[in-house]
Amino acid sequence: MPSKDIVYDEPSAGFVKIGRVSELEAVGQFSRWVGNHDILVFRRHGVIRAFSNICPHFGGPVGYHQLADGKFTCLWHNLQFDADTGQCLAVAKFKLREYRLMIEDDDIFAQLIESRDP
Amino acid sequence: MTELYSKFSEEVAFPRGLIIWNYFDHEHVVGTHFEHYHQIRILAEENNWCFSQRSASLPFIPIKMWATQFSYLKSDKWMRSFHFGPFGLLLEQDFHFEDLQAQACRVTVESRVKVPRILLCLQPFFHKLMRHWFYSVWAEDTEMRERRLKVWQLGFRDFVGLNYVNNKTAGPDLPDAERPYPIELPIPKITEITRGGVSRPFRRSRKLGYGLPEVPE
């Protein structure tokens, strides 16, 4: 569902297509730039979720390697993030944003903007 | 004694500051280059120089080799590196960074090593080794620099990220292609690299890369 911060005319407004469920079949995750967002989509415990793929450290790709032991490891500096929470395991202040998703048939949509505040 | 020598240049569409950031960001050695490097430790570092110890697998030589390296920025367009390897070998390298445009520069690398005269026959191999190593590592760095430049132009702040992502607000319509990339050394560290050193977390992985192309229709 859309955020409470924005009132949309349609329930699906503000959601942007970011990929297909079938793209998860191969290894259970993929990443992709959509507009100015780099989004990491993955299936875990049967649930499809999406985190920001941009490491808050220097901007490396969190989903470069396949998820292992419940952790994503950023390629550049090996910072690891818990796949359940998006929390960095080494630097407490680093946490990946989670995107709200909407699944329709084979299509995956994400809400890129949830707040009108600057 | 004689000298083995190698020189080559490459033009890149990155600002000079980003290239220098890449060379002085030593923590990425066992991240981005995890297939080449095993371990790295910074023994000492100040603003424009770094003394480090690292182990790597060189091309054509299937053994793990340790070397200590001293690099310093002689000027903001010239980096010197000294690699102290096994058998008393000293590899000296000069990296020259020449601005071409605001967001592009030419990198020229000169490498020299002094060896007994009898080893002069290794000159073609030395040049081949230097080129092979340079371009193997360079290819990985190029992807890293492209991404770094992209997030930088979107307003990325180190240790923060992108505000519009974090705050879930609207982002910039267009990247700021003119955002200056300053040279600020030393690069802040997040790991044990300046104390006990750091190792690559794995030798190989299933690599999914920097992402899929555009959303399919």
| Secondary-structure breakdown of chain B: helix, strand, coil percentages, each rounded to the nearest 5 | 30, 35, 35
Residue B64: what pLDDT? 86
User: Which residues of chain A have a CB within 8 Å of the CB of B217?
Assistant: none
User: Which residues of chain A have a CB within 8 Å of the CB of B141?
Assistant: none
Instruction: Give me the residue from A33, A66, A91 closest to B208, CB to CB.
Output: A66
- Please report, as a single letter, which amino acid is at residue B44: A
Q: Which range, of A61-65, B91-95, B133-137, B162-166, averages the lowest pLDDT?
A: B133-137
Structural domains in chain B, CATH included, are: 2-199 (3.30.530.20)
Q: Which residue has the higher pLDDT, A54 or B136?
A: A54
For residue B134, give the H/E element and its range. helix B123-153
- Res. A12: pLDDT tops 70: no
Residue A5: what pLDDT? 47
Burial class (CB in 10 A: 0-12, 13-18, 19+), B166: middle
B193 three-class SS: helix
User: To the nearest whole angstrom, how far is the Cα of B10 from the nearest Cα of chain A?
Assistant: 23
pLDDT classification of A48: cutoffs 50, 70, 90: very high
Mean pLDDT, residues A83-107: 97
**C-alpha separations of B38 from A94, B27, B31, B66 in Å:** 26, 12, 10, 10
- Res. B197: pLDDT tops 60: yes
Residue A1: what pLDDT? 40
Give the A window 95-114 contacts with B, CB below 8 Å. 97, 112-114
Q: Are A41 and A48 in contact (CB under 8 A)?
A: yes
- Res. B125: pLDDT tops 80: yes
The average confidence (pLDDT) of chain B is: 93
**Any chain A CB within 8 A of the CB of B166?**
yes
Percentage of residues in chain A having pLDDT higher than 90: 84
- Res. B68: pLDDT tops 60: yes
ipTM: 0.92
- Res. A4: pLDDT tops 50: no
Tokens of B190: 């997040």
Nearest to B141 by CA among B6, B17, B25, B7: B25
pTM, rounded to two decimals: 0.92
B141 three-class SS: helix
How many other C-beta atoms are found inside a 10 Å radius of the C-beta of residue B132?
A: 13
Instruction: Give me the residue from B159, B162, B198 closest to A54, CB to CB.
Output: B162
Q: Which range, of A60-64, B54-58, B67-71, B194-198, averages the lowest pLDDT?
A: B54-58
Contact between chains at B159 and A56 (C-beta distance less than 8 A): yes
User: Which residues of chain B have a CB within 8 Å of the CB of A65?
Assistant: 205-208
Structural domains in chain A, CATH included, are: 15-111 (2.102.10.10)
Tokens of A48: 């499809």
Residue B59: what pLDDT? 72
**Any chain A CB within 8 A of the CB of B78?**
no
Distance CA B76, CA B112 (A): 22
